[in-house]
């Protein structure tokens, strides 16, 4: 069977917090609504509308989410940082003849812009997914491993019967990722190439 490895985006491959914080600050400035952007970036993972709903009334959430996505293109890309081990991990998948699938909750066109900005080119990109819907995307593309930092990523991997690899680079500790059902937890992606080689052997 061919190998396809799925990766989450925010806080798994990329530290997007500086740009996301800048985008929330821009949204606050554009609307006059106070937003604690430092708090917002501690809660990355769930759908954007969930976070927007903390700051705006329900009947404004869809409009504000659209405005956020527009502001994102101007404010979020410059602060993006590659997390440790990303380049080596993607190279390891390809060295084993595998495909790389980025399965993310981020709005897909913005996810593409962000990946292009840092020079990462996955074989597959699926945006606007969360928890069980990540599982749907993983199944669709025959991914057998999914790597993520959030409890929702573990749910997605489990839904697809994929190996759930947690990385403790996001809001959850290794112990919390294990407790949520991760099959393996890595400190960060610097440990992924060696784990993948052992897994495939």
Active site residues: 8
- What angle is formed at CA 186 by the lines to CA 82 and CA 158, rounded to 5 degrees? 100
1 burial level (CB within 10 Å; 0-12, 13-18, 19+): exposed
CA distances from 134 to 73, 106, 152 (A): 24, 12, 9
Q: Are 196 and 5 within 8 A, CB to CB?
A: yes
The rounded distance, in Å, linking the Cα atoms of 43 and 119 is 26
Q: Show Cβ contacts of residue 121 under 8 Å, excluding neighbours closer than 6 positions.
A: 115
**Is the alpha carbon torsion for 122, 108, 157, 46 positive or negative?**
positive
The strand pair at 4-7 and 145-148 is best described as parallel
């Amino acid at each position: 069977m061919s190998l396809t490895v799925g990766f989450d985006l925010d806080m798994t491959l990329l530290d997007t917090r500086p740009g996301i914080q800048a985008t929330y600050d821009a949204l606050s400035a554009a609307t006059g609504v106070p937003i604690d952007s430092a708090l917002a970036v501690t809660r990355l993972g769930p759908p954007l509308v969930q976070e927007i709903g903390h700051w705006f009334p329900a009947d404004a959430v869809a409009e504000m989410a659209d405005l956020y996505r527009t502001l994102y293109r101007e404010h979020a890309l410059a602060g993006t940082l590659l997390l440790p081990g990303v380049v080596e991990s993607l190279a390891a998948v390809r060295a084993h003849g595998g495909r790389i699938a980025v399965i993310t909750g981020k709005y897909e066109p913005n996810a593409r812009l962000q990946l292009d900005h840092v020079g990462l080119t996955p074989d597959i990109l699926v945006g606007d997914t969360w928890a069980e819907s990540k599982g749907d995307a993983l199944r669709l593309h025959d991914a057998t491993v999914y790597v993520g930092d959030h409890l929702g990523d573990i749910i997605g991997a489990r839904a697809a019967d994929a190996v759930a690899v947690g990385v403790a680079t996001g809001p959850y500790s290794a112990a919390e990722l294990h407790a949520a059902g991760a099959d393996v937890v890595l400190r960060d992606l610097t440990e992924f190439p060696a784990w993948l080689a052992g897994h495939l052997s």
